[in-house]
Amino acid sequence: MRYALLVQGAPYSSQASHSALRFAQAVVARGHRLDTVFFYHDGVYNAARLAAPPQDEPHLGDAWRALHNEHGTELLVCIAAALRRGLLDEREASRHGKPGHSVEPPFELTGLGQLVEAGLSHDRLITFSP
Partner 1 sequence: MNETESAIDKGEVEGKVEGKVEGIAKGDLLVILRHSPHGSSWLREGLDAALVAAAFGQQVSLLFAGDGVLALMPHQQAGALGQKGTHGVIDMLAMYDIETLLVDAHALTSRGLSAEDLMLPVSVVEGDALPKLLDRHPLVLNF
Partner 2 sequence: MILHLLNRSPATGGTVDDALAAMGPDDRLLLIEDGVLGALPAQVARFTGLTGRLFALREDLAARGLLERCEEQANIVDVDGFVTLTEEADKTVSWS
Q: Which residues are catalytic?
A: 78
How far is it between the farthest Cα atoms of the chain?
45
Long-range contacts from 61-68, C-beta under 8 angstroms, 24+ separation? 61/11, 63/21, 64/21, 64/37, 64/107, 65/106, 67/21, 67/24, 67/25, 67/28, 67/34, 67/37, 68/106
Our finding on whether 49 is near partner 2 (CB under 8 A) is no
Q: How far is CA 9 from the centre of its chain?
A: 10
* Whether 130 contacts 12, CB under 8 Å: no
Cα–Cα distance measured from residue 109 to residue 78, given in angstroms and rounded to the nearest whole number: 6
130 binds, among partner 1, partner 2, none (CB under 5 to 8 A by kind): partner 2
113 binds, among partner 2, partner 1, none (CB under 5 to 8 A by kind): partner 1
Please, which residue, 67 or 88, has the CB nearer to partner 2? 67
Local structure of 47: helix, strand or coil: helix
39 binds, among partner 1, partner 2, none (CB under 5 to 8 A by kind): none
Q: What x-and-dash track marks residues 18-57 binding partner 1 by CB under 8 A?
A: ----------------------xx----------------
Residues near partner 2 (CB under 8 A) are 1, 3, 15-16, 19, 22-23, 26-27, 29-30, 32, 124-130
Residues near partner 1 (CB under 8 A) are 6, 40-41, 80-81, 111-113, 115-117, 119-120, 125, 127, 129
